Amino acid sequence: MRHNKGLSGKQKALVWAISIIAVIGITIGIALLVDGINGLKVMGEFISDEVLGMKWLSRLIGLALTAMCGADFMATHWGNAIQFFIYDTIKIFFLLCLLIYVISYIQSYFPPHKTKQILGKFHGIGANIMGALLGTVTPFCSCSSIPIFMGFTRAGLTSGVTFSFLISSPLVDLGALIMLASTFGFPIALAYVVVGLILAVIGGTIIEKTGVGRSVQDFVLEGSNVDVRVETITRKERLIYAKEQVAITLKKVWIYILIGVGIGATIHNFIPTEWIRMVLGQDKWYSVLVASVVGVPMYADIFGTIPVAEALFAKGVGVGTILSFMMSVTALSLPSMVMLSKVVKPKLLASFIGIVTTGIIIIGYVFNVFNFLFV
């Protein structure tokens, strides 16, 4: 009898996880030995700027454009704008494809029936936290999250869980963390993810405890709940699934990314800093309110907002104002609210908008107060 001595899928995954943790630990240890805390800081800046931020690509594009168009042209606003547009477009599309591929591969291990089983084991605030955390591994825009929200509601999950997921899913995910770190550094990226999760959990909890979460349209509750259990798929099938998700996501967001990069390039190179600070300056008490309101009519995911946020950050706009803008675009966009209005009753829709808007504004003002920690 032949015995298969190869490692199982779970064993291979464990080996990979241990190897990655070991490499990270060794790298941190070397940095600490070489220059203590400062060495760790330098390593973090290198990863943020050169690995994730791909600043080397910006320099390379600058050299290429200088060779083609001349140094005089590159000294103009148009030269800088073209460099910004090319660099940000390549960087965002590359990181987006890579991250969606990895996240989708991980997500293939959590089909809907398994996700419902996991969430069903938790209760109270713990269940809401799990619902919010689930949103971090779903690379969906807000409109894509609504059908999943319907499925969870139909499956009997509490409104606290479903709305924690609905708030968290478009706001925060692993891809957003890496993308934000590549642009603003790890402190702001981590802060964004943490406050996004807190907002999702608190929002879901309020909706559940007040009882307003039961105000969903009747067809959502009356619809059939098809719980298809998918047989174990092979590694090759998971890779194909991840590739398909990359293609699907790109088809949905590519235009918004290009628009976002275009707006960012315009703000970065053509709009005077004084104009930006006149409206969104840290000394303006209404800057957070303006940023929150301006973001609502737009429709984009987190990847489309990053170029605009990057340009605003470079102009000296407060971190809290920028976070409020990004959150309002991704969580409260007008198209998403129109779609949500079809599945929830007006009372619940108004409560959802009010709770999320209030949370976004509070987050904006708090972060502007502590802006000095991030700049």
pLDDT by residue (tens digit) across 247-282? Answer: 887 887 788 788 888 888 888 888 777 777 777 777
Would you state the pLDDT for residue 140?
54
Tokens of 192: 């964004």
- Of 49-58, 220-229, 275-284, the one with minimum mean pLDDT is 220-229
Given a cut of 80, whether residue 208 has pLDDT beyond it is yes
Tokens of 239: 């890779």
- CB contact burial 61-93 (16+ within 10 A = b; e otherwise): bbeebbeeeeeeebeeeebbbbbbbbbbbebbb
Neighbours of 359 (CB within 10 A): 22
Best CA proximity match to 359, nearest among 316, 327, 311: 327
Q: Which residue has the higher pLDDT, 160 or 149?
A: 160
Percent of the chain with pLDDT over 90: 12
- Overall average pLDDT of the 168-185 stretch: 78
Given a cut of 50, whether residue 334 has pLDDT beyond it is yes
Tokens of 100: 């969606």
Chain centre to alpha carbon of residue 296: 17
Would you state the pLDDT for residue 22?
79
Given a cut of 50, whether residue 139 has pLDDT beyond it is yes
Q: Is the whole-model pTM more than 0.85?
A: no
Cβ pair 138, 203 in contact under 8 A: no
- Overall average pLDDT of the 36-63 stretch: 81
Would you state the pLDDT for residue 79?
92
CA dist., res. 321 & res. 297, Å (int): 17
pLDDT tier at 17, thresholds 50, 70, 90: low
Given CA atoms 199, 204, 206, 207 in this order, what sign does their dihedral have?
positive
The mean pLDDT value of the chain amounts to 80
Would you state the pLDDT for residue 226?
45
Given a cut of 70, whether residue 287 has pLDDT beyond it is yes
pLDDT tier at 7, thresholds 50, 70, 90: low
